[in-house]
Amino acid sequence: MSRTSLFAAAVIATLAVSAASAQQAYNPYAGAQLATPLSAAHKLAALANEPGTCAVLVEQALNNISLRIQGPDGMNGRMHTTALLLGARNAADVGDEEACWHWYDRAQN
């Protein structure tokens, strides 16, 4: 291996490591929870100041006929939405209203 190719390999490795570390250093949102817009039901419940509404809405959403119909989009849309709603139901079961709304809002958006 010649000196030139060894030097070029060292420069490329150094640039790759510095680029990866620069992305981590300047990403203020690394590890932050994804921002999710509030659903209409969440806004109405917040305005009415009604605690416990999330659990009721999650059960209604899980009973939606469109989540029970098999279709070509099953693995992408239907099952993804069901998984988000089940996460909201689990949060509601342990009394975590904020997490319940987070997962409900993600399922609705």
Higher per-residue confidence, 3 vs 89: 89
Render the chain in DSSP notation, one character per residue: --HHHHHHHHHHHHHHHHHHHHHHHT-TTTTPPPP-PPPHHHHHHHHHT-TTHHHHHHHHHHT-GGGTS--TTIIIIIHHHHHHHHHHHHHHHTT-HHHHHHHHHHHH-
Angle at 101 between CA 87 and CA 80, to 5 degrees: 40
Question: If pLDDT is split at 50, 70 and 90, which confidence band does 51 have?
Answer: confident
Does residue 26 register a pLDDT over 70? no
Does residue 30 register a pLDDT over 70? no
Q: Which tens digit of pLDDT belongs to each residue from 74-107?
A: 566 788 889 999 999 999 999 999 999 999 999 9
Question: Which pLDDT does position 50 carry in this prediction?
Answer: 83
Question: Which pLDDT does position 56 carry in this prediction?
Answer: 93
Question: Which pLDDT does position 84 carry in this prediction?
Answer: 92
Mean pLDDT in the chain?
Answer: 79
Q: How far apart, in whole angstroms, are the C-alpha atoms of residue 17 and residue 38?
A: 39
Question: Which pLDDT does position 94 carry in this prediction?
Answer: 94
